[in-house]
Structure 1
Amino acid sequence: MALADLFPASSGVLTLSPSNKKELFEMLAAEVAARIDQPQERILDAILAREKLGPTALGRGVSLPHARVDWLDNPVAILARLTRGIDMEARDGEPVDLVFLVLWPEAASEGFLPALSGICRVLRDNQLPRQLRQAQSADEALETLRAAERAQD
C-alpha cells in the first residue's frame, strides 16, 4: 500500500504535546477512536500490547507503533509530530518527536509488512525526519512524505 493511500489526508497528520509515552498512546488512541467505531480503550490496549513486546522507537527521533487487530476493517495510520521529544526507549537514546502509528486489520495481513517497510524505506533518507519536523502545516508534512516515497520509486 502506497503511503499516499495509508495517509490519505492531512487529517492523518497531528501535532501533539504528550509528556510521556503513555500519554502519547492515550492521545493516539483517542484520535483513532474518533475516526472509527471502536472504543478508545480497545485501541489503547492494542497499542500497549505491541509495545510490551519491545519498544517501537526506530532511532533518530522516530517511532513506529503498530498492531494487527481483528476488529478493524481498514488500515488506520497517523503521523504525529510532537512539540517536544519524549523517551520511548530508543536504542540510540534519542527522544522521539515523530510517531507513525499504524493499525492494520488482521484479515488483510498481506499488506501489513509492506506498509511498515514502506515507512521505514522512506525514513532511510536522513533528510526526511528533519523535513517533516520543519513542515509548516499538516498538508506540507503529508506532501513531504509523499515526495519521499516518489523519490524511492
Structure 2
Amino acid sequence: MGISDRIPTANIVLDLKAGSKRSLLQTLAAEAAQRLGRPEAEILGALEDREALGSTALGRGVALPHARLPGDGRPIMLFARLQRPIDYEARDDEPVDLVVLVLWPEAEADGFLPALSETCRALREPQALRQLRSAGSAEEAASVLNRAVEPEDDAP
C-alpha cells in the first residue's frame, strides 16, 4: 500500500490555519485522533517527542511530522496545505506550507520506514510541490500525490 492509498481525499486539508509549529501539531493531532479514535493528547505527545529529537522539516517548505503509536491499529497519513507558511525550524530556514503527517502503530513496524521514504520521494519534485501549492481541491491534491509516486517507466 503506497502513499496514494494512505492519503485518501478525506485526509487532505487545504488552507489549514496554523500560526505556529505547536498549533499545527495540535490541529493535526486533533484531526488524527478523530480518525483513529485515539486520545488527542497521546498523538500530540508522540509528535512533540519526535520533534524534540530534531525538526521533521524536509526543506523547500515541506514538513513530515511522524510518530510511532503504541499498540496496534491502522496507520494514518494526512496531507495539509497551510493557509500561511510557518516557521518550522527547517535547516534551509524556509517556512513550511506543505505538511504530511504519518502516524504508525508500533505493532506494524515493517511498513513505517518505507512509507516515510516513499513520502519523501513524492515530495522532492519541484513540479509536484508547485502543483500541491496551487491545487484548487482535495481531489486535485490527491491526483498530484498519486502522480508523484507512480513508478517511472523503464521504456526507452
TM-score category, normalised to shorter length: over 0.9
Q: CA deviation at 1:67?
A: 0.6
User: Is the 1:76–1:103 Cα contact (8 Å) retained in structure 2?
Assistant: yes
Q: CA deviation at 1:36?
A: 1.5
Residue in structure 2 matched with residue 148 of structure 1 by the alignment: 148
Counterpart-to-counterpart distance in 2, 1:152 and 1:110: 24
Counterpart-to-counterpart distance in 2, 1:130 and 1:108: 33
* Residue correspondences, number: 152
User: Is the 2:43–2:69 Cα contact (8 Å) retained in structure 1?
Assistant: no
Q: CA deviation at 1:42?
A: 0.7
Gaps in structure 2 of 5+ consecutive residues: none
Counterpart-to-counterpart distance in 1, 2:40 and 2:70: 15
Gaps in structure 1 of 5+ consecutive residues: none
CA deviations on 1:29-53 (whole Å, 9 max, x unpaired) are 1101111211111110011010000
CA deviations on 1:66-96 (whole Å, 9 max, x unpaired) are 0111144010110010001000000100000
Residue in structure 1 matched with residue 13 of structure 2 by the alignment: 14
CA deviations on 1:109-133 (whole Å, 9 max, x unpaired) are 1110000000111222111111101
Q: CA deviation at 1:98?
A: 0.3
Residue in structure 2 matched with residue 57 of structure 1 by the alignment: 57
Structure 1 residue runs of 4 or more that deviate by more than 6 Å after TM superposition: none
Residue in structure 1 matched with residue 95 of structure 2 by the alignment: 95
* TM-score normalised by length of structure 2: 0.93
Residue in structure 2 matched with residue 31 of structure 1 by the alignment: 31
Q: CA deviation at 1:152?
A: 3.9
Corresponding residue SS for 1:14: strand
* RMSD between aligned residues: 1.2
Closer, same or farther in 2 for the Cα pair 1:147/1:55, shift >3 Å? same
**Which shows bigger deviation, 17-26 or 70-79?**
70-79
User: Is the 2:71–2:107 Cα contact (8 Å) retained in structure 1?
Assistant: no
